[in-house]
Structure formats: structure tokens, C-alpha cells
Amino acid sequence: MLEPRFAWHLPAPIQLDPVLVAQGAQYGVSERLVGILVGRGIASVEALDDYLGPAESGLHEPGLLPDADRLLERLTRARNAGESVLVFGDFDADGLTGLAIMVRALRRFGVTAEPYVPSRLQEGHGLSLRAVETAAAAGHQVILTVDTGSSSVSQVDVANRRGLDVLITDHHRVPEVRPAALALVNPRRPDSSYPDPRLAGSGVAFKVAQLLLANLPGGPQAAMALAELAAIGSVADVVPVLGENRAIARIGLERIRTEPLVGLAALLARAGQTPASVDLETVSFVIAPRLNAAGRVGSAADAAALLLTDDPTQAAELAERLEANNLERRVMTRKAVLEANAAVASEPGDRAATIVRGTWPIGVIGLVAARLAEERSRPAVVGTELDGVIRASCRSAGGIDLAAILTGCDDLLIRHGGHPGAAGLELLADHWEAFRERFVALAGASLGPEEPSQPSLNVELVLPAMGLDYGLIADLARLAPTGPGNADPLIVVGGLTVTRVRAAAGGHTQLTLKRRLDVIDGIAFGWTELAGLVAEGDRLDVVARPVTRSFAGYESLQLEIRDAAPAGSNAGVVARLAGGTAVDGLSPRPSHGGAPATVRVG
């Protein structure tokens, strides 16, 4: 018998402000889309303008970043005095793209800049003492960090004693005891007044590039071109695609599609992708994994070199190396995930976090933690031990701030850092069990009362079957680029009749769904059981993501089905459809006068 797998959370009806509807119309969008945006908190004329207007209007003044003036003054002195700067990045995609942004911007600014990419295994996260000694030995006068450094108190002290000025640009949590850097440019500082603190490390680097190049001939345009790197780093670091991050993503994607850097073009070509078709999904599943793979199983310096080169031959060689690294990373990750799942299989199902240790390669533990967090719907910590010290990666499943929890374990740790969704740590193996129990307790306290056992889906629109049309697709396209914090909406489509059902390869179920005279294709990815729960003639209400598919020049609508229930079994859906309520009190009439989705007659 078919029963929904999820609780369906329907939007609360509200009365839209006519001023907002009129403002939306200025951008060519319907009441229906304005209602969705209001439901997401975009509820003022100014917010609508930022969201729907030109991407550049969503960027903030970089001089508002804390210590931006001190950073600019010191780098200006370096340029005037002919001093050189060591740019210290990180070995993940956010840090690598931020490093490339900063090196390119500094060189355009007129400063000699040398990139430094730390070793994941030998140096770990944070400004390393090895980098400090390298800078001193090479005669650099300044170290500028990207995507790291906010917790590097002792390392900055050593740099100061060696006569080096340290400029930190970062986005991770700032501890109570700050490093004594000349500048700490971090929008997450408690005393920061920057309008949007959600920037990734590469996003902060992009803002610094804007700051440095603002008054140079052609500088603002050169800085804007670097948004392609910031977009990649932001997506890789899973920051919300909202506010300034969304503006950066819009600008960056357009740049990748039209004028990609030589290295990115080579990376895409080796992966069998064309720049013109790049979207955030391509960034997430094609570009970012290959950049990350270099730091996990190869040399992150290869990825940095790829992003900095303007030589097509060198770019092709480096792209080939990253492709090989990525294939190796996949094999290692699959093996580690299987072993980690086996290790935690006997754990109680009600623990607030999944915490496991082993001897896995340091480069894959973050990926394993992410997989465990996703599969078990709870935070995950995965550690690997070497010579009595455990290094671990943490990933959140939502609902808790990992960086805050690690602060609560500070006395047990050698060092730690990160942000709400992802973090890392080191501790002595002897402290592992004490850390494990405290982390679980703090995670449980952060989550509060136990959540309902049935997972939920947030629905943003309820439509009768005939309300699904190409006008809706056009509306939803205006939400792009979508991602964390700005997801593709899920809708309920009511009153569909099954005319065909079959199990498909890969564990999917394919459906043909009739409305009146026409039919729409549906696919339930990963829900192979659905094929045995429905039959021809059944009437369904489904929760789905509407998309269009093209095949042989023929475009059709398709529903990516997340859940289904017998038609009329959900009282909330029945009430919405009977009362003509679609979303936030709006009528489900087709938008833009769009024609019905007559895909094929059957």
C-alpha cells in the first residue's frame, strides 16, 4: 500500500503586498514567483531588487570588511617599497580558488606575490610554521593568508618574531583569543559590521581583489572577472547561495560560460564538459571534486598551478593529472565509506552524532564524514590516527554549529577550526573517547527536543495537475542559480493518474502520468520500491521538482518525484486545491498566460 515517505510541510497562506507584486512585474515575474520569494524571506522591495536585478547590485562595498583599510595600507606600502608577499592558501577548492584570486589581484596591483600551498598530510589546516620559515628564508616581508588563519595564534606570533607582517583573510569562526596579525579581514568577526557575513574564503578574497583594484585603470573589470573563481570556491564550500554569494555565483557562472580561465577551460575539456553549459551542478560535481582531489591524493600545488597558468599546454597537462587524481580519490573514498559504515553499524540509532576513527588516508576523511552525515541525517566526525595523534573532519547534517561545538571541546583538542557546516580538529588518541562522548552530548543539546522520526519535505507550491505548465518553468528559472539556502522548489501536483509504471536501471522508477488528455513523464530517482506500490489507474498526488528535458530536439516537461500519496489523502493538499490556494494564498492559475504542458497524447 502506498504511503508517503515524508511529512509534507505546506506553505502558510499569506496576503501578498500589491507593491511587491507590482515590483515583481517590473522584472517580468508572476505573483506566483513573488509568493515563493516572500516565503523565503525576500519580502521587501529592496530584497526583490537585489534578488531579481543585475547581479552587480548584490555586491557590497569591500571597504566595509573589518581591517580592510589596514590591509590596503600595508599592501600599498609593499608595492611602493618593492616588497614581496607570500600568499598562503589552503588545499581545498575554496582555498585554492581564493589563493588564485589573491595572487592574480596582487600581481595586477603591482606586488610581487608568490603562492604557497600547504601539504594536507604534513602541515594540516591553518597557517603552518613551515610556511612562516619559508617566507622568512625567501626574504618576503608579508604573509597574506586566504581561507585560513583566524585560529593561528602561535604561528602568527612566530611570524611576528621573524619580522614578518601577517595579513589574514578568512571566513572561519574567530576564537576569543585572536592572532596578533596586522589585519584580520574576516566578515565573521564579532565586531564586524559587514552586511553579509556568509562569504566563503574565496568570496573574501574576491572582495579584497575588488578593494585592491578599484582605482587602477581597468581594475574593477579585472576584479569582476575573478568572480568565476569565487563562484567555484563558494559552491565547493557549500555556503548558502543567497545575498552576496548568489551575486558572485551569477557573475562567476556567466564568466565561466563565456570567457573561462585557461586552466578552467582545460579542466572542463578533460572532463568532457563545455563551458557554455556550466551551472552550479557542474561546479559541484565536476569542477570542485577535481580541484579537491589534487589535495587529497596528489599535490594541491597542481590545482593552484592550473588556476594560475595562462599557458594552454601546461593547463592541459595539469588537467590530466587532476583527472587521474580524481579517479584515484573515488576508489579510495568508496573503500573508506564501506569500512566506516561497517564500524558504526552497531551504534545505537538515537545518538546525536556519528563518530568513528580508523586509519584511512587523511585526504578522504572529509568525504567520508559528508557521506555519513547525509546517510544517517546527523552530524558526523571521522578521524584517522597517525603516531598517536588523530586528525578528524566534521560535517553537519544541519541544525548545529560544528565550530561552536568544537569550541566546547577545546580543552581536549590540540587545535580546531571551521564553520557551522564543516570543521576539522586534531587531538591525542588518548583523548578520543572523552571527546567522543562530549561531542555527542553537545550535539544532542544543540538539536534540542527529539525530532519526529519521519523526515519532512518543505513544499512551496500546491497545484492541480493542469496548473503545471511552461510558464511555471520560466518562473522557477528566475531562482537560478540555486543551491544551499536557495534550493529548487518542491511542488505538490494533485490529481495525476498513472498510465504506466516500470522499474528502471539504477534503482529508479519511471511513471507516465495522465492529466486530462495529455500525459507527463515522472521519475523517482533511487525509489525502486515505488514500482511495486502503484499500478495503472491509480490516482496520485506527488511532491516533485518540475524540469524540462530535451531529446532529439523535442522538449518536454518531467517531474522528478520525491514522494507520492493516494490522491486526496492529504487534508492540507485537498483544502488548498479545493480553495484555489497554491502558494501563500495565491491562485494556481498558469503564469504568463503559458500554454498547458501538452507533451504527448496517450
Q: Cis before residue 481, ω within 30 degrees of 0?
A: yes
When mean pLDDT is compared across 11-20, 247-256, 394-403, the lowest value belongs to 394-403
Cα 89–Cα 95–Cα 101 angle in degrees, nearest 5: 80
Residue 238 and residue 484 in contact, taking contact as beta carbons nearer than 8 Å: yes
**Band of the pLDDT at 350, cuts 50, 70, 90?**
low
Classified as helix, coil or strand, 392 is strand
More confident residue, 39 or 450: 39
Q: How far apart are CA 369 and CA 353, in angstroms?
A: 11
Which pLDDT band holds residue 453 (cuts at 50, 70, 90)? low
What angle do the packed helices 365-376 and 312-344 form, to 10 degrees? Answer: 50
What mean pLDDT comes out for the span 449-472?
80
Burial 213-248 (b: 16+ CB within 10 A, else e): beeeeebeebbbbbbbbbbbbbbbbbbbbbbbbbbb
450: confidence class by pLDDT, cuts 50, 70, 90: low
Write out the three cell numbers for 380. Answer: 558526523
Handedness of CA 58, 59, 63, 64 (dihedral sign): positive
- Write the CB contacts of 351 (distance below 8 Å, at least 6 apart in sequence): 378, 440
Pair 302, 320: CB distance under 8 Å: no
The rounded Cα 480 to chain-centroid distance in angstroms is 14
Segment holding 524, helix H or strand E: strand 518-524
Q: What is the mean pLDDT of the chain?
A: 90
* Neighbour tally for 417: CB within 10 Å: 22
Cell, residue 231: 563562484
456-464 and 490-504 beta bridge pairing: parallel
pLDDT tens, position by position, 303-324 = 999 999 999 999 999 999 999 9
Q: Please give the residue that has the higher pLDDT: either 68 or 404.
A: 68
User: Measured at the alpha carbon of residue 326, what is the angle toward residues 312 and 357, in degrees to the nearest 5?
Assistant: 145
Residue-level pLDDT at 439: 93
CB 400 within 8 A of CB 443: yes
Q: Are 182 and 165 in contact (CB under 8 A)?
A: yes
Tens digits of per-residue pLDDT, 510-546? 999 998 888 999 999 999 999 999 999 999 999 999 9
Query: What does the block give as the cell for 293?
Result: 582531489
pLDDT in tens, 574-595: 988 877 544 443 433 333 333 3
The strand ranges marked E within 70-198 are 84-88, 112-116, 142-146, 165-169, 183-185
Q: What is the pLDDT of residue 452?
A: 45
Coil, helix or strand at residue 25:
helix
Distance (Å, rounded) from C-alpha 397 to C-alpha 371?
A: 10
pLDDT for residue 377: 80
**Cβ neighbours of 409 (radius 10 Å):** 19
* Inter-CA distances, 467 with 1, 84, 513, Å: 28, 62, 14
Q: How far apart are CA 401 and CA 447, in angstroms?
A: 10
234's CB contacts (< 8 A; 6+ apart) are 94, 199, 200, 202, 203, 241, 245, 248, 249
Share of residues in the chain with pLDDT > 70 (%): 94
Q: What is the pTM of this model?
A: 0.84
Q: Which domains does the chain have, with CATH numbers?
A: 7-16+455-601 (2.40.50.140), 62-323 (3.90.1640.30), 351-447 (3.10.310.30)
Count CB neighbours of 53 within 10 A.
14
Nearest partner of 53 among 35, 82, 18, 28, judged by Cα:
28
- Cα 389 → chain centroid: 30
Q: In three state form, how does the secondary structure of 319-347 look?
A: HHHHHHHHHHHHHHHHHHHHHHHHHHCCC
In sequence order, what E strands does 387-421 have?
A: 389-395, 415-418
* Span of 56-60, 254-258, 358-362, 394-398 with lowest mean pLDDT: 394-398
**C-alpha angle with apex 154: 422 to 236, nearest 5 degrees?**
20
The amino acid sitting at 435 is F
Q: How many CB atoms lie within 10 A of CB 303?
A: 33
The x, y and z cell numbers of residue 376, run together, are 544517517
Residue 266 CB-half CA count within 13 A: 24
Tens-digit pLDDT profile for residues 552-572: 777 888 999 999 999 999 988
pLDDT band at 298 (very low <50, low <70, confident <90, very high): confident
